[in-house]
Chain A
């Protein structure tokens, strides 16, 4: 095994933009948010990403506007640096090294304080910095907030609210009832400070909001309680004038309370998914809510959603296989609950969400709702099959088939089959045949597999073509697990426990059975192109390769394969092997049992979802170990929902060159602006006698 220096595993797209609260600029035109290792600047009106601020080597954990220059932003990261950026031009201005690699956030303090001090008490660690920002280590805290005058910091953890007065360096602790059941429900979830009054609002796990006053002593503090949320309050925020308090939680309803008259409240319901953070622009005209489904909503005038910035949705887990839509080259996977998302990997942007379940999602925990569990696209992208499932008392399944509509450029529901099988469906796949007749095969744990075919209706009826069942197959009443079509669609392999059955889709005859005990077959895959005579099967101990011409075992090797994946454009097959805790990757041709690429300890956890995304133009890399990446790119999802891919050296060089070019361009632009400004001023001084109109024409000429 050779170490491959010329390929490297990288994050490409789909990072969390809801990891920390976004920042709205002073003029409300831009929204800055963290996105993995980089920072993104969005326009609040057009939802467009204007700049990627790249430079941090690790996850960015904090963002704050520079209090002394509102066109600059500070960011801190797990790599232990604080960087200052000009976000209008996307330029890095300064880097400060901290040598402190803990999760942290940044807060700004009004007034100049150039002292640097640290404090540590209990679970808290504060650190003042120059430039008037505060660097907070939040490793142990649930939430913390800084008073706008910079007098105190309020932080919450479990059932305790701590208030630390920065000037007096005194520290108060307020605890709520910690006994019995109350303790769990009483726990603090978030905290916010009033900008004018001495008032701290805290949210709680049982949906209550408490407003604390008179907290500069430990004895005579008071608090009042308001309650609307039915489950925990996740986010609290005061408007800049302090007239309103905004709160949000699992219900995905933004609640606006009048400060002082808490009985009056306004609601903005159905924001999509539960609210994680709420931010208000400095002038109070824009609200931003960041949601758990990696989304930032911009709300104008408290009532209207004006923009939605959507990243790759990281649900509870991707239940469908990763797919690439042949038309848009977008990655297709589970999105919001009950939806499929189409995510463009090139532009790192969600294209659209397809509503599969078409039911109102109820934001409530412990509720069994319909989930999209399987999805399949046919080879030309004109049909999409989805399986949705709800496992309440009895399993409710429905299979839906969607036709691509050229007119609206999206998928339109064609057929709904309710209860297609008696048990959960373990796999669906389309036959790859390119003729008009496409077959869908669904394999279920009820012991049957079914073939579905598009039936053309009589021309006399004005009904559309719809799908109906063509064949039901089983084998010795064993449970089938997976199915796979050969590249030309002439063979269908269905695995029943230890046995692989090979069927002819033309006549639905059982052609042959293959078996290599022990162990049930977990994954099946046909070879492509010159290796199309091979069928690969993975049990939990072995990887077997059968030759279909001789119906005999060609080779087998002991591997714990978690996922087998064939590249549609080459003979290569990728096998992800789950060892103890890490995953190894082997890329090989079925014709020879030796891998021509292998990488050990690819990532932690098992990899169960991966896809070969065809490249627009093939690379011409000549390195033997990276040749398998020439035609398509391999994306895979780790168990904690990170989307990773392989980057080859030539590609990396090209990207570096591109970013340099961009930087040079930016620099040129700045120099030009600088010189033109100087020119203007010098002209203005020297020719003061010129008429106003002449100056105006000059200004115009410079601007154009």
Chain B
């Protein structure tokens, strides 16, 4: 009686991303903590001082969260309308925020009420920031102006009206107290010097500018607007260095990570991309559930905080070595006695070692296949992601795939159909899944129209097939074009065959070498 041979699970070479140091690094985060805010989260700012609390601006509030808290440790609610751009001062003591009602409020982090209010703008203020020495505030507003304010006497110092559209982003220099940058929906970035009354540098981004970022050395400026992220060399007078187009919707937020080694960009396309700042290649990609408006990264990449349009704040904390260790240690160790049992017996030279017969352990679906329970085996296999294909192939080989597919109810049928739809166009599975799809249609064609769920899946399948045929047609066209190109690139070779002297034939040969 031979033992049952388990189904062989074909291991396919992994297509797509290769595992690099970066993927390992950026995958090393725990499952995200999700907090629901009242409205779209427009700004996230980390306090520069330990313990690195962060301010989250959403709707008419600014919440301050502790590094590991799930509840806000502090809330500022004294806004008449939507608040914008809550930012910490470099000592972490003060926080400034703009508002839809054109007033700019300054809070003491330990207090509750605004200690200063700056009124002078005529429209919503989306940008507010402290200058590097901490005594002045930069604001930018939808009335096209940006202003500098003095904190002690809450007076307006200067006002610049050079932009011709809303100012939606601005950043102050950390090294020079007089320099700051603003970006506007008029597609331009401007560098202002508080000591002169007009901009000293002007750069054209080409799209409404959404976010600005300065490198720690302040030699490079990064701007995000439209689908583009652009890097500007400030030391060369604002020359564009590189333009990145990796998102397919507007990029909304920028952030630096790993001590300036990595650049992160978040976009409305629900992705966060990580670039290397040496070659500006994307090294990693995060997916989120909704369009992202704001992104924050704690120092040393301890946590990634993302704010989305649906008001969900997602916080990923880095996995520490203790976390992974702790999980292992939870297993109960067997008693010492069990370890020692029989271990101290040393076989003598003349002893013949009898090895124990190895017990064969079968997976659940294999046990069911052994008993010819084909439907249950298929059900069991559908639970795990990599196995269904192998089991479907095995059932097809046994000629019982039809039996396994028949007699399903609406829910199970939908599951099967969605599996087919998901994997049908994968060339490695197409042959098997087309047979499966045909069988499904054969079996259930009489029930079409009885369930809206199944009908919807069937329509999806039809759409998929239409799209796929279109693709194939296009690909064939491209192939044809390439053939023409290759044929014209290879010169015709004339070869005389030495052996055929009697006839003296000359053969023309075309040799194609496929790579």
Q: For residues 351 through 372 of chain B, which have their beta carbon under 8 Å from a beta carbon of chain A? A: 369-370
Residue contact A513 to B497, C-beta cutoff 8 Å: yes
Known: A394-B431, A510-B511. A270 touches B1 (CB 8 A): yes
User: Shortest Cβ distance from A207 into chain B, in angstroms?
Assistant: 15
In the complex the two chains form, what is the Cα distance from A368 to B509 in whole Å?
42
Interface size classification for chain B: 20 to 34
Residue contact A360 to B5, C-beta cutoff 8 Å: yes
In the complex the two chains form, what is the Cα distance from A268 to B2 in whole Å?
10
Q: For residues 469 through 515 of chain B, which have their beta carbon under 8 Å from a beta carbon of chain A? A: 497-500, 502, 507, 509, 511-512, 514
User: Shortest Cβ distance from A407 into chain B, in angstroms?
Assistant: 16
Q: For residues 268 through 288 of chain B, which have their beta carbon under 8 Å from a beta carbon of chain A? A: none
In the complex the two chains form, what is the Cα distance from A392 to B435 in whole Å?
11
Say whether chain A's binding surface is mostly helix, strand, loop, or mixed: loop
Binding site for A on B (CB under 8 A): 1-5, 7-8, 10, 369-370, 394, 396-399, 431, 435, 497-500, 502, 507, 509, 511-512, 514
Residue contact A551 to B1, C-beta cutoff 8 Å: no
Known: A362-B398, A364-B399. A472 touches B10 (CB 8 A): no
Complex contacts, B500 vs chain A, CB 8 Å:
551
Whether A272 is near chain B, meaning CB under 8 Å from some CB there, is yes
Contacts beyond the supplied A396-B431, A551-B497, A552-B499: 11 A-B pairs with Cβ under 8 Å: A271-B1, A305-B1, A360-B4, A360-B5, A360-B7, A362-B399, A367-B397, A510-B509, A513-B497, A551-B498, A552-B502
User: Shortest Cβ distance from B495 into chain A, in angstroms?
Assistant: 8
Known: A359-B397, A393-B435, A394-B431. A272 touches B10 (CB 8 A): no
Residue contact A472 to B514, C-beta cutoff 8 Å: yes
Known: A510-B509, A512-B499. A358 touches B8 (CB 8 A): yes
Name the 6 nearest CB pairs between A and B, nearest first: A551-B499, A360-B5, A472-B514, A270-B2, A305-B1, A362-B398
- Per-residue contact bits, chain A 352-368, to B (CB 8 Å; 1 contact, 0 not): 00010011101010111
User: Shortest Cβ distance from A112 into chain B, in angstroms?
Assistant: 42
Complex contacts, B399 vs chain A, CB 8 Å:
362, 364, 366-368
In the complex the two chains form, what is the Cα distance from A537 to B2 in whole Å?
45
Known: A360-B4, A513-B507. A550 touches B499 (CB 8 A): yes
User: Shortest Cβ distance from A499 into chain B, in angstroms?
Assistant: 11
Complex contacts, A210 vs chain B, CB 8 Å:
none
In the complex the two chains form, what is the Cα distance from A270 to B370 in whole Å?
10
In the complex the two chains form, what is the Cα distance from A367 to B498 in whole Å?
53
Residue contact B396 to A392, C-beta cutoff 8 Å: yes
Complex contacts, A514 vs chain B, CB 8 Å:
499
Residue contact B397 to A512, C-beta cutoff 8 Å: no
User: Shortest Cβ distance from A420 into chain B, in angstroms?
Assistant: 14
Residue contact A270 to B4, C-beta cutoff 8 Å: yes
Of all chain B residues, which has the CB nearest A362? Answer: B398
Q: For residues 463 through 479 of chain A, which have their beta carbon under 8 Å from a beta carbon of chain B? A: 472, 474
In the complex the two chains form, what is the Cα distance from A305 to B2 in whole Å?
9
Binding site for B on A (CB under 8 A): 268-272, 304-305, 355, 358-360, 362, 364, 366-370, 390, 392-394, 396, 418, 472, 474, 510, 512-514, 550-552
Complex contacts, B1 vs chain A, CB 8 Å:
268-271, 304-305
Complex contacts, A510 vs chain B, CB 8 Å:
509, 511
Of all chain A residues, which has the CB nearest B507? Answer: A513
Known: A271-B1, A510-B511. A418 touches B10 (CB 8 A): yes
User: Shortest Cβ distance from A341 into chain B, in angstroms?
Assistant: 15
A–B Cβ pairs within 8 angstroms, 8 of them:
A271-B1, A358-B5, A358-B8, A362-B398, A367-B398, A368-B399, A551-B498, A552-B502
Of all chain A residues, which has the CB nearest B4? Answer: A360
Complex contacts, A360 vs chain B, CB 8 Å:
4-5, 7, 369-370
Of all chain A residues, which has the CB nearest B515? Answer: A472
User: Shortest Cβ distance from A596 into chain B, in angstroms?
Assistant: 29
In the complex the two chains form, what is the Cα distance from A272 to B5 in whole Å?
12
In the complex the two chains form, what is the Cα distance from A512 to B497 in whole Å?
7
User: Shortest Cβ distance from A508 into chain B, in angstroms?
Assistant: 8
Of all chain B residues, which has the CB nearest A268? Answer: B1
Residue contact B5 to A359, C-beta cutoff 8 Å: yes
In the complex the two chains form, what is the Cα distance from A304 to B498 in whole Å?
70
Of all chain A residues, which has the CB nearest B5? Answer: A360
Complex contacts, B5 vs chain A, CB 8 Å:
355, 358-360
Residue contact A390 to B397, C-beta cutoff 8 Å: yes
Contact of A369 among B10, B397, B431 (CB under 8 A): B397
Residue contact B497 to A359, C-beta cutoff 8 Å: no
User: Shortest Cβ distance from B370 into chain A, in angstroms?
Assistant: 8
In the complex the two chains form, what is the Cα distance from A359 to B7 in whole Å?
7
Residue contact B2 to A272, C-beta cutoff 8 Å: yes
Residue contact A359 to B509, C-beta cutoff 8 Å: no
Most buried by A among B3, B498, B499, B514: B499
Complex contacts, A512 vs chain B, CB 8 Å:
497-499
User: Shortest Cβ distance from A124 into chain B, in angstroms?
Assistant: 38
Known: A367-B398, A513-B507, A550-B499. A359 touches B2 (CB 8 A): no
User: Shortest Cβ distance from B392 into chain A, in angstroms?
Assistant: 13
User: Shortest Cβ distance from A258 into chain B, in angstroms?
Assistant: 21
Of all chain B residues, which has the CB nearest A355? Answer: B5
In the complex the two chains form, what is the Cα distance from A510 to B397 in whole Å?
41
User: Shortest Cβ distance from A296 into chain B, in angstroms?
Assistant: 15
User: Shortest Cβ distance from A105 into chain B, in angstroms?
Assistant: 29
In the complex the two chains form, what is the Cα distance from A474 to B509 in whole Å?
12
Complex contacts, B435 vs chain A, CB 8 Å:
393
Complex contacts, A358 vs chain B, CB 8 Å:
5, 8
In the complex the two chains form, what is the Cα distance from A268 to B8 in whole Å?
24
User: Shortest Cβ distance from A599 into chain B, in angstroms?
Assistant: 35
User: Shortest Cβ distance from A421 into chain B, in angstroms?
Assistant: 13
Complex contacts, A513 vs chain B, CB 8 Å:
497, 507
User: Shortest Cβ distance from A609 into chain B, in angstroms?
Assistant: 27
In the complex the two chains form, what is the Cα distance from A367 to B4 in whole Å?
19
In the complex the two chains form, what is the Cα distance from A552 to B503 in whole Å?
11
Of all chain B residues, which has the CB nearest A272? Answer: B2
In the complex the two chains form, what is the Cα distance from A325 to B511 in whole Å?
38
User: Shortest Cβ distance from A618 into chain B, in angstroms?
Assistant: 37
In the complex the two chains form, what is the Cα distance from A358 to B5 in whole Å?
7
Complex contacts, A305 vs chain B, CB 8 Å:
1
In the complex the two chains form, what is the Cα distance from A360 to B396 in whole Å?
13
Of all chain B residues, which has the CB nearest A509? Answer: B511
Complex contacts, A368 vs chain B, CB 8 Å:
397, 399
Most buried by A among B498, B502, B511: B511
In the complex the two chains form, what is the Cα distance from A551 to B495 in whole Å?
15
User: Shortest Cβ distance from A250 into chain B, in angstroms?
Assistant: 15
In the complex the two chains form, what is the Cα distance from A390 to B394 in whole Å?
12
In the complex the two chains form, what is the Cα distance from A199 to B5 in whole Å?
40
Of all chain B residues, which has the CB nearest A396? Answer: B431
In the complex the two chains form, what is the Cα distance from A369 to B393 in whole Å?
12
Of all chain B residues, which has the CB nearest A515? Answer: B500
Complex contacts, A418 vs chain B, CB 8 Å:
10
Complex contacts, B507 vs chain A, CB 8 Å:
513
In the complex the two chains form, what is the Cα distance from A270 to B514 in whole Å?
47
In the complex the two chains form, what is the Cα distance from A364 to B399 in whole Å?
10
Most buried by B among A269, A271, A359, A418: A359
In the complex the two chains form, what is the Cα distance from A632 to B343 in whole Å?
55
Complex contacts, B8 vs chain A, CB 8 Å:
358-359
Complex contacts, B369 vs chain A, CB 8 Å:
360
In the complex the two chains form, what is the Cα distance from A552 to B397 in whole Å?
50
Of all chain B residues, which has the CB nearest A390? Answer: B397
In the complex the two chains form, what is the Cα distance from A513 to B3 in whole Å?
53
In the complex the two chains form, what is the Cα distance from A355 to B6 in whole Å?
13
Of all chain A residues, which has the CB nearest B393? Answer: A396
In the complex the two chains form, what is the Cα distance from A513 to B511 in whole Å?
14
In the complex the two chains form, what is the Cα distance from A272 to B431 in whole Å?
30
Of all chain B residues, which has the CB nearest A548? Answer: B499
Complex contacts, B514 vs chain A, CB 8 Å:
472
User: Shortest Cβ distance from B216 into chain A, in angstroms?
Assistant: 35
User: Shortest Cβ distance from A272 into chain B, in angstroms?
Assistant: 6
In the complex the two chains form, what is the Cα distance from A371 to B349 in whole Å?
47
Complex contacts, A393 vs chain B, CB 8 Å:
435
User: Shortest Cβ distance from B8 into chain A, in angstroms?
Assistant: 6
